[in-house]
Amino acid sequence: MRIIGTGSARPSKVVTNSMLENFLDTSDEWIVTRTGIHERRVISSENLEDLAATAARNAMENAGITSEDVDFIICSNVVNEYVTPGLGCVIQGMIGATCPTMDINCACTGFIYALDVAEAYLATKKDMRNILIVCAEEPARMMNWHDRSSCILFGDAAGAVVVTKGDDLKAIRVSTHCKVEALYQKRKLQPTPFITKEEVDTEGVVMNGQDVFKLAVSSSIKDIDKVLTMAGMTADEIDLYVLHQANVRIIESIRHFVNQDKSKFPFNLDRYGNTSSASIPALLDDLNRGNQLKTGEMLLLSAFGAGFTTGACILRWSM
Ligand code: ACO
């Protein structure tokens, strides 16, 4: 597998920490110190599918292909306004593709899971040329905006890549360790005349921040160690660690474990917050368009999220 194009799109509405002070008992100082986030983008008038289609078009343009060249679309998404069909189907129509589409919901780890699926498809399906991966997320719509410990963390975004056959993926590992109580949301479904059970609507995400913090650091460290071993590489041989953008303190804890320089850990969560599975592909796009990725560099990607799902991979950059 090889990445040949990247794209991203973000909502126009910038929500700063001081704007949150207007309706939450919080402060810019608390949020910056505990998370590293200064502002985030939140959907106001946009539809998530518009952001997804823009990110997809940017990635195709960057790859020098058109929608006719796309043979499969993998869409990573947790929630959007459509319960059905899958968001991938909506995106397919908007970009004028005709290939099959598949949605996955692996929370913030979705991009790594999508890369794993893409690698398997490219390896086993002879006619498969290009796969479009679109990660489109609106976690801000899942939050209880009266809960200061969770709503301050998230922002909305879409990130996309085009992958084709190649030899750039050196190692990949995905895992799930069932820990629903650490981070979940339940909603009531439509009533029927036959329902007799009590159903719960949590009215937003329920998160144990400290448990998630510990799970994130411990699982990412384990994944990084495993993929380095799988690839026969050392931490020093990785040029950039592109980590899920959840909290600057999580990134720092992981950085201390691998004992690498700060400059190897690019981040943009100060401006965008945690955008779930869109965070890594959108950061890759920022780096790509900012000419911060050099051909031949080795990237280690690591993500973690609700489930608890985790995943990491080592990827040679060859664009
Ligand atoms: N502003 C001011 N005070 C706050 C806020 C806020 N926004 N949020 C919580 N507090 C208060 C708490 O009420 C608590 O007050 P108390 O001591 O009087 O009880 C105090 O701050 C400390 O709270 P903690 O929860 O101990 O703060 P902590 O240092 O753990 O930081 C945080 C909380 C930022 C949520 C941290 O635990 C974290 O980042 N966890 C990981 C969360 C995460 O990344 N989730 C998503 C990852 S997975 C995915 O991406 C889906």
What confidence score (pLDDT) does residue 241 get?
A: 98
Domain boundaries of the chain, sorted by first residue: 2-166, 171-316
Residue with tokens 């690019």: 266
pLDDT, position 39: 98
Q: DSSP letter string over 258-311?
A: HT--GGG----HHHH-B-GGGHHHHHHHHHHHTT---TT-EEEEEEEETTTEEE
- Angle between the 279-289 and 48-63 helix axes, to the nearest 10 degrees? 40
**Where are any strands of DSSP class E within 118-217?**
130-137, 157-164, 169-176, 183-184, 206-207
pTM of the model: 0.97
Q: Hey, how many other C-beta atoms are within 10 angstroms of the C-beta on 61?
A: 13
DSSP-derived 3-state class of residue 233: coil
Structure tokens at 5: 């194009």
Q: Is 185 in the pocket of ligand 1 (CB under 6 A)?
A: no
Residue 293 has a pLDDT of 98
| CATH fold of the domain at 171-316 | Peroxisomal Thiolase; Chain A, domain 1 (3.40.47)
Per the structure block, which two tokens stand in for 219? 């699982």
Atom of ligand 1 nearest to the CA of 304: 48
Return the pLDDT at 232.
98
Nearest to 6 by CA among 67, 55, 71: 55
From 106, 244, 247, 313, active-site residue: 244
Is there an atom of ligand 1 within 6 Å of 242 CB? no
Q: Are 112 and 174 in contact (CB under 8 A)?
A: yes
The DSSP secondary structure of 16-84, one letter per residue, reads EHHHHTTTSS--HHHHHHHH---EEE--SS--HHHHHHHHHHHHHHHHT--GGGEEEEEEE-S--S-SS
Q: Residue 96 is encoded by which pair of tokens? A: 């004028």
pLDDT of residue 127: 93
**Mutation choice for ligand 1 from 149, 152, 176, 248, CB with most ligand atoms inside 8 A:** 149
Distance from the alpha carbon of residue 249 to the mean position of ligand 1, in angstroms = 12
The first and second tokens of residue 26, run together, are 């919080």
| Tokens linked to 88 | 């991938």
Q: Is the CB of 306 under 6 A from ligand 1?
A: yes
What's the pLDDT score for residue 75? 98
- Structural contact between residues 202 and 185, judged by C-beta atoms closer than 8 angstroms: yes
Count of alpha carbons within 13 angstroms of residue 192, beta-carbon side: 5
Dist CA 236 CA 299 (whole Å): 11
- How far, in Å, is the centroid of ligand 1 from the Cα of 72? 39
pLDDT means over runs of 10, the chain (319 residues): 98 98 98 98 98 98 98 98 98 98 98 98 96 98 97 98 98 97 96 95 97 97 98 98 98 98 98 98 98 98 98 97
Taking alpha carbons only, the member of 265, 281, 315 closest to residue 295 is: 315
- 2-166 under CATH 3.80.10.10, yes or no: no
* Chain length of the chain: 319
Q: What are phi and psi of 308, to 5 degrees?
A: -90, 125
What is the pLDDT, as a whole number, of residue 273? 98
- Are the folds of 2-166 and 171-316 the same? yes
- The answer to whether 58 is a known catalytic residue is no
DSSP 86: -
Q: Which residues, in sequence order, are CB contacts of 95 under 8 Å at separation 6+?
A: 53, 56, 57, 60, 67, 70
Q: Which amino acid is at 118?
A: A
C-beta separation of 65 from 5 below 8 A: yes
